[in-house]
Structure 1
Amino acid sequence: MKAMINREAERRGKYLDVKLGTGGIREIEFTAQVFQLMRGGRIPELRGRSLLPTLDALLAQQLLTAEEFEVLQPAYYFLRRTENRLQMWNDEQTHSLPTTLERQACLASSMGFADWASFEAELNRHQQAVAQIFQRVFALETQESQPMPEHPAIQALLHSRLYNTLTDTGRSRLNRLLPALLDACNALADPEQALERCLRIVQKIAPRSGYIAMLADHPNALEQFVRLVSDSLWITSQLTDHPILLDQLLDSRQLYTPLDREQLGAALRLELERIDQGDTEQVMERLRQFKQAQVLRVAAADITGVLPLMKVSDQLTWIAEAVLEETQRHVWETMTAQTGVPTYIAAAPEYPPIPSPSPARGEGSKIEEAGFAIIAYGKLGGLELGYGSDLDIIFLHDSHGTAQQTNGKKTLENAVFYARFAQKIIHTLTTFTPAGRLYETDTRLRPSGASGLLVTSLNAFRTYQQEKAWVWEHQALLRARVITGSERLRAQFEQVRHEILCQSRDRAELRKQVIAMRQKMWDSMASKDARVFNLKKDPGGVTDIEFIVQFLILAHAHEYPELVRWSDNIRQLDSLQVAGVLPTDTAEALADAYRTLRDRIHELSLQEQEAVVDAGQFMREREVVRAAWVGLVEQ
């Protein structure tokens, strides 16, 4: 179709046909329709038959920029009015501009211009602006495909069984892509690695020739594809396993600008509103597609240096939070439609009164709706997620008193409801579907570990933390925070967390237990090979810094309660420095070492490599950490 437009434009004169010529009506229509064809399956607003509402939808979806919209909409009005005036002349179906002076003057006058020259200047302005957008969207070819390169890997593909099974169209598109692909790879520092990774994906997507055509027809998308794949084995694997992510490469403005926390939540809710909420399988697929697309955007911004380390972790954490929120909402709505919501008759309050967002039902009644919360631990709790991180989570509810049951047609005891509710959340997150798995989850940090109840009441959680929890569990609680839950339950959890962490402790006994736990971890998980350094687990690594911070906070929080405000390591270090527990130079040195080591862990993760380097690397950081460990913990 593009080639036909080009031939028509050449035959009729580049700008003489307001419909089929360069910058004409057809180019505006095709610009909108290509997005309708690619995204209409997932975005119902793009399924309309009329152009102008479609342009509005493209702007709302950020598939067109405001600047592009301000070009295309006025141009469409102008070109359509011009077409109407042309067809009024002899009531004929024509789109060609007049060539006689008389008709040129009449057309200009009918369009509100004083003369032909001023009308023609305005027409050309619109056509050239439309043509520029059309060129960017379709990347029209200006020359024939290059000769096929004599490269062993490419020649092997051309003589493979895969190539011979392709349709004529598929082979033609692949033949067009390969020379451009090799040129793009040759421009990089390691062209052979880049080509090997790219061809791995090309072989996977070759039968779906639309993806091949997308890369062949969009030089910018091809350049981004080659760069990202070359820089990250993780991205290579993602695109190989989920080719739908290639759509993200089309728009560099969105690819390198990850959404903030609020935007992520809004975007995911909008995605889910477009599908049948009763179709859990489809909801699970859309959650996975959303997560993969957003993480790819983070990785792209990370690789290109747009996002620093701490922002990368923030982004990955926000994506997980948005997914958890919508997963909980979907499961809640699905279950409560049958069972109603959990309720209870309140007994005497065990906590200072906290206003409930849901008033009691029935005048004078003590019936309350029970709350539910997902508590994040570990990297999720500490806002430090990596690309392959698990989600360490536990589930709490605040049901207590009597008559603890749901209020729907199918009545369940609250404990049964919450157990099923948590199981369904985990199922939604961890089940493999055609789009993969959302997240691995670990719930072993709940009271009593793997042998304990999957969902615990807040009262039982508080009792366990006060009477039975080990020191390492209080260390873990330092990195805990609420992800989802009612305001009442959030406040009550924070109250419990504050009480537990700010207890006065025997410092000698605390030191003994922290050292013993760290030694146990060194013995079981540290490198046994002296030639390598595990950035996380070996002495002088990330875990040592975390243990130093946790020991100091647990030792001093009864004096300085503000130390337990934050759950992330960097702000905890800042708090220790502000409170005077840590000297400024020591706090800054540990923070710098922490960021440096974690930055390298991110880089290795993008190459699908373990967090292990040569033992000679990061000696300065390791010495800083070891000195702090000896001076602050072992003293």
Structure 2
Amino acid sequence: MAEDLVAAGSFFAKALKALHPFESEQGHWFDGRHPQAQFLNAVLSLSPFLRDLFLHNPYYLEPLSNMSLNSRLDRLLAEIAAFDTLPEMTETRLMQQLRLLKREAHGLIALGDLSTVFDGKTTTAYLSRLAEARLGSALRFLLRDLDRAGKVTLPYQDEPERGSGLIILAMGKLGANELNYSSDVDLVVFIDEQVLPAEQVADCVDIYSRLIRRLVRIMQERTVDGYVFRMDLRLRPDPASTPLALPVGAALRYYEARGQNWERAALIKARPVAGDIAAGERFLHELVPYIWRKYLDYAAIADIHSIKRQIHTCKGHGAIAVRGHNIKLGRGGIREIEFFVQTQQLIAGGRFAQLRGRNTVEMLAALCETGWIAAPVADSLRQHYVFLRHVEHRIQMVADEQTHILPEDEDGFLRVAYLTGYTAGEAFTRDMLAALHGVEEHYAALFEHERDLASAGGNLVFTGGENDPETLATLSGLGFTRPADICRIIRSWHSGRTRAMRSREARERLTELTPALLQAFGATVRADDAFMRFDTFLQGLPAGIQLFSLLQSNPALLEQLVLIMSAAPRLAEIIMRKPHVFDSMLAPQGAGALPERAALAGRLRDFVAQAADYEEILDRLRIFAAEQRFLIGVRLLGGAIDGVRAGAAFTVLAEVMLDVCLQAVEAEFARQHGRIAGGRVALLGMGKLGSGELTAGSDLDLILLYDHAADVEMSDGRKPLYAAQYYARLAQRLVAALSAPSGEGVLYEVDLRLRPSGNKGPVAVDFAAFGQYQRHEAWTWEHMALTRARAIAGDTGLQAQLMVEIAQIIGSPRDNSKIADDVRAMRAMIAREKPAHSVWDMKTMAGGLIDLDFIAQYAVLTRKSACKAGASAGEILAGMGRSDLLAAWRLYSDVEQIMRLCLMEVFSPDDMPAGLADLLARSAGEPDVARLQGALARTAAEVRAAFAAMIGTTAAEC
């Protein structure tokens, strides 16, 4: 066939020259020895559409003798954009001119694409600009016509679209500047009521809807000159019952109440292309919370996959083939790449603004840069996407038809192969199969964890009122001792009596997930108890579909959930109240190493920057903190980090949260009360916050310190306050921001009692007064507490001064014997008021954490350790060379972190979950919890002996 086509091409080129023998420098287009002539021969032979186009319009080539292809296309675009300004322009003439210039531009774009002068991005950009120019020109003409008829009043006669309130959003490929060679144009039309006079809104719905009908006729009616493009307006909200031009308010109400994930996916690419562009941008901005959820959105995966399954069902696209395969909608086709990208965008775009772009190739790169997909996946999908779009254009260039199907016949198939640059059909077939299979593999990976009921290895039937005997046997085999109770629970799920299972979709997802749930819970030590806790957890959920979709897509998360239900009631309580905390585990960084402080702070700033007001800032802080605390806890449960690293991670998180929260509180407070000239604020972390040993449930011990210019008495706001009053209220506002409950919970509980004079002293402390108090009035226990103090947020200069002041205070000469007496007295008081009941009271028991802390604090105050303020007991003990005490501190830290993470109530060794006992033993490197208890008792005796040797004993202990 190849020889026949080349010969035909040569014939058509000669015929073209004979029919139109014009004289110009472009004669080489018909000189068979010239590469351009050979290229034209091939194009004319392979594409009937282009052959007819250039046979009847050879002058399309003439301008290319003295200007580049880009220049000619830019000139055509400018001519189209100016049609509406021509005084003699009529609707009939406009239709004709749009079609004629469209035909010329399409012919030239095809030459640029086929000759590889244009790459795929340039080709689709020109096609998109061409469609946009035609649409804008026609719309401006129609708006002027309405204005002349007195139907509307245009505020800007020279710019009829501006201020018209008419919004035309391009969706799909036009919205993304990726339009096909022969493509429908997906548009939605809205009316911004805020732009129009109130009395015109109702009339404009009818007027603008009729205008859109005229626009559709101008664009897609076939005349002797062809058509411009087909318009599809069915992506608007509820197209069967809404007008063509829908008021923005009605659209927003629809999206908020009834919008679906497929509509969110479609709106990703939405772009104002005609009409009132500024109003269109405002409308899209209002849609941001609807499109981009602040929680990671894994239910979107299943919804998008459902759409894809419907495409396969309705269109009949079965297994991958080449001939007859739909390279857009078929398996491994362009739509799967687009769905792959859009799914990831919907999931994470609420958190990562860089994932909100419209262009498919650019978003593949962004997904790679943010860690959502691996570089090989991004590169593979990009290459396949470029290749398939390349082929798609050539399929459409053959006859200017909107088709995406590779021809089945030999001649048709080879036409496409040759237009794509291949010299043999076999090579084209090979590369096409590689692309389709490659795309299908990556797309399928999104859904590889879907399961069916057969996967549990036996009967699992939960319908009807009676238990199926084979199902009971299957459950017993899985590890459940009360299979009848398990059947009863699962039947209750299917009944929809629980809120989380009331929707059909939720019940379907949970049905698919049930075998995996039963296998995972059956493998635990007390499978029935753990499964029943999970049922209790489900009963507390307001809705289930998001969680079930999330678990279905992530088996590792299911394993973590089972571990939590079997071992960690405290974490179970957290996820019962806030299922979205799972989001943190599913982000690319979730399973990796703990983030560095700078990276964590950057993520928080990006997340908070999207807040609309102060209250939303606080809610976003609560969401972020809950997710990150949960993430640290899961790493601790899984053994990825030990207790010491967990303490450091909880502390870094608290510091980052405090820094951003303080800034937000100061800014909000200043809106009403202004600022104090020269004023500076710093937060001093005390206790475990200062020493970097926070646990999952720790309060924050804080002192807020301030100073300001000496000659300033009041703030400069519209409601000025005296300086002391200003900072006291600022401190109260900060405490409220941190500890006030909201729908997102509490950020942190705060304790200010370690400030000078405790509860009797001011809540905000003047820096100079703080130094005076600590030097002249503070008790020994306050200096002991000061050894753990560390400036953690606020003005960096004041923080530095504060740490210098604390270092001088701690380093002041002291009577070591008096310090020892005071430490012993304080330890004796704690023993009386908070006696330990067992070795599991690791903090207060004799030889426990308090003893280690006191040893470390005594060493710092008596200069037996050179550690600075803010060091942990472990750092101080290591600096003293006490490896025995350091080992004790590590043991206590590991066990305490897990206990604080898992338990909400007082620990009872006789009633701990089996999973928790295993976790505790593992954390200490012991084979079982009984051996761990013995190790704790031995360690406590060693620590108490070290305390007595260094500091002495009380009379009661002698």
The TM-score, its normalising length taken from structure 2, stands at 0.58
Q: Which residue matches 2:309?
A: 3
Q: Is residue 43–residue 274 contact of structure 1 (8 Å, CA) maintained in 2?
A: no
Distance, in Å, in 2 between the alignment partners of 1:446 and 1:168 is 56
Q: Which residue matches 1:317?
A: 651
Rate the CA distance shift 1:427–1:455 in 2: closer, same or farther, 3 A: same
Distance, in Å, in 2 between the alignment partners of 1:341 and 1:405 is 9
Q: Of the candidates 566, 575, 591, which is equivalent to residue 239 of structure 1?
A: 575
Q: Is residue 145–residue 176 contact of structure 1 (8 Å, CA) maintained in 2?
A: no
Q: Of the candidates 841, 861, 882, which is equivalent to residue 534 of structure 1?
A: 841
Rate the CA distance shift 1:322–1:48 in 2: closer, same or farther, 3 A: same
- Is 1:630 the counterpart of 2:943 in the alignment? no
Q: Is residue 646–residue 897 contact of structure 2 (8 Å, CA) maintained in 1?
A: no
- Is 1:420 the counterpart of 2:726 in the alignment? no
SS in 1 for 2:546: helix
**Structure 1 residue 514, shift from structure 2 partner:** 0.4
Moved more, 1-10 or 466-475: 1-10
Q: Which residue matches 1:356?
A: none
SS in 1 for 2:712: strand
Q: Is residue 450–residue 552 contact of structure 2 (8 Å, CA) maintained in 1?
A: no
Q: Is residue 8–residue 20 contact of structure 1 (8 Å, CA) maintained in 2?
A: no
SS in 2 for 1:387: coil
Q: Is residue 220–residue 250 contact of structure 1 (8 Å, CA) maintained in 2?
A: no
Rate the CA distance shift 1:143–1:563 in 2: closer, same or farther, 3 A: closer
Q: Which residue matches 1:199?
A: 535
**Structure 1 residue 85, shift from structure 2 partner:** 1.6
Q: Is residue 594–residue 649 contact of structure 2 (8 Å, CA) maintained in 1?
A: yes
- Is 1:604 the counterpart of 2:899 in the alignment? yes
**Structure 1 residue 497, shift from structure 2 partner:** 0.5
Q: Is residue 255–residue 300 contact of structure 1 (8 Å, CA) maintained in 2?
A: no
- Is 1:290 the counterpart of 2:627 in the alignment? no
Equivalent residues in 2 for 1:211-226, closer than 5 Å: 211-226=547-562
**Structure 1 residue 41, shift from structure 2 partner:** 4.9
Q: Is residue 398–residue 457 contact of structure 1 (8 Å, CA) maintained in 2?
A: yes
Q: Is residue 139–residue 218 contact of structure 1 (8 Å, CA) maintained in 2?
A: no
Which runs of 5 or more structure 1 residues have no equivalent in the other structure? 344-368, 578-583
* AA at the equivalent of 1:633: I
Q: Is residue 703–residue 755 contact of structure 2 (8 Å, CA) maintained in 1?
A: yes
Distance, in Å, in 2 between the alignment partners of 1:235 and 1:190 is 18
Q: Which residue matches 2:673?
A: 339
Distance, in Å, in 1 between the alignment partners of 2:529 and 2:492 is 21
Listed one character per residue, the Cα deviations across residues 242-269 of structure 1 (whole Å, up to 9, x for unaligned) are 0122334545752444322111111000
Q: Which residue matches 1:303?
A: 637
Q: Of the candidates 587, 594, 602, which is equivalent to residue 266 of structure 1?
A: 602
Q: Of the candidates 853, 858, 878, which is equivalent to residue 551 of structure 1?
A: 858
SS in 2 for 1:342: coil
Moved more, 438-447 or 57-66: 57-66
Distance, in Å, in 1 between the alignment partners of 2:593 and 2:410 is 52
**Structure 1 residue 412, shift from structure 2 partner:** 2.7
Distance, in Å, in 2 between the alignment partners of 1:29 and 1:145 is 32
* AA at the equivalent of 2:491: L
**Structure 1 residue 240, shift from structure 2 partner:** 0.5
**Structure 1 residue 444, shift from structure 2 partner:** 0.3
* AA at the equivalent of 1:313: G
CA RMSD, Structure 1 to Structure 2 (Å): 2.7
Listed one character per residue, the Cα deviations across residues 405-448 of structure 1 (whole Å, up to 9, x for unaligned) are 33445433222221121111111110111111011010100000
**Structure 1 residue 546, shift from structure 2 partner:** 0.6
Q: Which residue matches 1:156?
A: 489
- Is 1:84 the counterpart of 2:402 in the alignment? no
* AA at the equivalent of 1:337: R
- Is 1:64 the counterpart of 2:370 in the alignment? no
Rate the CA distance shift 1:542–1:454 in 2: closer, same or farther, 3 A: same
Q: Which residue matches 1:517?
A: 826
Per chain length, whose mean CA-contact separation is higher, i.e. which structure has more relative contact order (CA < 8 Å, sep 6+)? 1
Q: Which residue matches 1:131?
A: 440
Moved more, 406-415 or 465-474: 406-415
**Structure 1 residue 329, shift from structure 2 partner:** 0.8
Q: Which residue matches 1:363?
A: none
**Structure 1 residue 280, shift from structure 2 partner:** 2.0
Distance, in Å, in 2 between the alignment partners of 1:341 and 1:525 is 44
Rate the CA distance shift 1:116–1:414 in 2: closer, same or farther, 3 A: farther
SS in 2 for 1:138: coil
**Structure 1 residue 295, shift from structure 2 partner:** 1.4
SS in 1 for 2:765: strand
Q: Is residue 154–residue 178 contact of structure 1 (8 Å, CA) maintained in 2?
A: no
SS in 2 for 1:155: helix
- Is 1:618 the counterpart of 2:922 in the alignment? no
**Structure 1 residue 519, shift from structure 2 partner:** 0.5
Rate the CA distance shift 1:81–1:231 in 2: closer, same or farther, 3 A: farther
Q: Which residue matches 1:491?
A: 800
- Is 1:442 the counterpart of 2:782 in the alignment? no
Q: Of the candidates 867, 885, 897, which is equivalent to residue 563 of structure 1?
A: 867
- Is 1:182 the counterpart of 2:182 in the alignment? no
Distance, in Å, in 1 between the alignment partners of 2:385 and 2:599 is 31
Distance, in Å, in 1 between the alignment partners of 2:902 and 2:867 is 36
Distance, in Å, in 2 between the alignment partners of 1:117 and 1:633 is 88
- Is 1:31 the counterpart of 2:340 in the alignment? yes
Q: Is residue 373–residue 485 contact of structure 1 (8 Å, CA) maintained in 2?
A: yes
Deviant stretches of 4+, over 6 Å: none
Listed one character per residue, the Cα deviations across residues 364-414 of structure 1 (whole Å, up to 9, x for unaligned) are xxxxx1211000001110000101011001000122522233344543322
Q: Which residue matches 2:662?
A: 328
SS in 2 for 1:163: coil
Listed one character per residue, the Cα deviations across residues 65-107 of structure 1 (whole Å, up to 9, x for unaligned) are 3333223333222222222222222222322333344444433
**Structure 1 residue 154, shift from structure 2 partner:** 4.2
Q: Which residue matches 2:886?
A: 591
The TM-score, its normalising length taken from structure 1, stands at 0.86
Q: Is residue 8–residue 21 contact of structure 1 (8 Å, CA) maintained in 2?
A: no
Distance, in Å, in 2 between the alignment partners of 1:136 and 1:220 is 15
Moved more, 412-421 or 452-461: 412-421
SS in 1 for 2:714: strand
Distance, in Å, in 2 between the alignment partners of 1:437 and 1:498 is 34
Distance, in Å, in 2 between the alignment partners of 1:6 and 1:224 is 35
Q: Which residue matches 2:506?
A: 170
* AA at the equivalent of 2:319: G
Q: Is residue 373–residue 397 contact of structure 1 (8 Å, CA) maintained in 2?
A: yes
Listed one character per residue, the Cα deviations across residues 526-567 of structure 1 (whole Å, up to 9, x for unaligned) are 22x4x554111110101101101111221126xx7x333552
Q: Is residue 584–residue 628 contact of structure 2 (8 Å, CA) maintained in 1?
A: no
**Structure 1 residue 282, shift from structure 2 partner:** 1.2
Distance, in Å, in 2 between the alignment partners of 1:132 and 1:248 is 26
Rate the CA distance shift 1:84–1:235 in 2: closer, same or farther, 3 A: farther
Q: Is residue 514–residue 547 contact of structure 1 (8 Å, CA) maintained in 2?
A: yes
**Structure 1 residue 218, shift from structure 2 partner:** 4.4
Q: Of the candidates 742, 766, 769, which is equivalent to residue 460 of structure 1?
A: 769
Listed one character per residue, the Cα deviations across residues 436-478 of structure 1 (whole Å, up to 9, x for unaligned) are 1011010100000011001111110001101111101000000
